[in-house]
Amino acid sequence: MPSYKSNYLTQVILRIDFQTTMPEYQRSISKDLEEEILKYFTLKEAKEGFIEEVKFTPSSEKVERQRTEFKEWNYFANERQKRLCLTKDFLFIAYQKYLNYEDFTEPFYTLLKFLISNHKDLQIKRIGMRYINNVKIEEDDPFEWRKYLNNNLLCVFDVPQNRTEIRRALNILELNIDDIMLKYQYGMHNPDYPAPIKQKIFVLDLDAYKSGILSLEELSDIIPKLHDNIESLFEKSITSSLREKMNE
């Protein structure tokens, strides 16, 4: 995303899912790896995670539940506004306070280099990057966004005769851009739902990802592409007035 003086980002996430599991991370984190992590995330917290799969068989009318437990290695920084999570199946970094692209991706690239040098056969089945913006403006009319947002995003407000009847207004657009999938969720989620919309908050949630067997070396090329597609669509979604607000 462009470097503005301020932004409306509430969370930014970068995640890879492993095709081959890393069973050693179920037991512990090596000293060398932890040294790399602690350069950026100084607070360590391990906990037990689980995935529960529910299967329903119509013939027997039975519900089967399968619970898989795993160790989750969490590291935090900046009063928990930055988080790294590593398991045997995935790695992700999530920031609640975002400065710029370089600050966000630097620890991720550092860990990628470690994985490349220590796990020659490791493959990735998915990589994703997500930017969640909550554009909040202190103005009286919660539905008047034409000054700040591309008017093509606002058509849903014209569906009802009376806008005050709207309780939520959300849209989903999914794109395939040169084998990069981009899921764009935008609109007014209304934190006071089911009460009437009072707060002027518009969500721009951009989630870009690529699935398939990927080598660790390929990720260094894919990550900038994910970011560039997100940045391009974000910039098409906003107006110069909102840019001015973010640069005040």
Mean of the per-residue pLDDT values for the chain?
91
Backbone φ and ψ for 229, nearest 5 degrees, come out as -65, -40
Domain that holds residue 139: 1-12+132-248
pLDDT at 49: 61
Residue 18 counted as domain residue: no
Does residue 7 register a pLDDT over 70? yes
Ramachandran assignment for 85, one of left (phi > 0), alpha (psi -120 to 50 degrees), beta (any other): beta
Residue 26 domain flag = no
Question: Does residue 225 fall inside a structural domain?
Answer: yes
Average pLDDT of span 192-202: 96
**If we measure between CA atoms, which residue out of 203, 75, 210 comes closest to residue 131?**
203
pLDDT of amino acid 26: 84
Q: Higher confidence at residue 59 or residue 45?
A: 45
Is 62 part of a structural domain of the chain? no
pLDDT at 91: 94
Average pLDDT over residues 163-178: 95
* pLDDT in the model for residue 165: 93
Q: Is residue 80 part of a domain?
A: no
CA 105, distance to chain mean position in Å, is 13
The pLDDT of residue 206 is: 98
Q: Report yes or no on 82 lying in a domain.
A: no
Q: 21: pLDDT confidence band, cut at 50, 70 and 90?
A: confident
Q: Is residue 81 part of a domain?
A: no
Q: Cβ–Cβ contacts within 10 Å for residue 61, how many? A: 7
Bigger pLDDT: 22 vs 73: 73
Express each pLDDT in 88-136 by its tens digit. 999 999 999 999 999 999 999 999 889 888 888 888 999 999 999 999 9
Q: In this predicted structure, what is the pLDDT of residue 216?
A: 81
Predicted structure pTM score: 0.89
Share of the chain above pLDDT 90, in %: 74
The pLDDT value recorded for residue 56 is: 62
Three-point CA angle 74, 77, 12, nearest 5°: 80
Residue 25 pLDDT:
85
Q: How many domains does the chain have?
A: 1
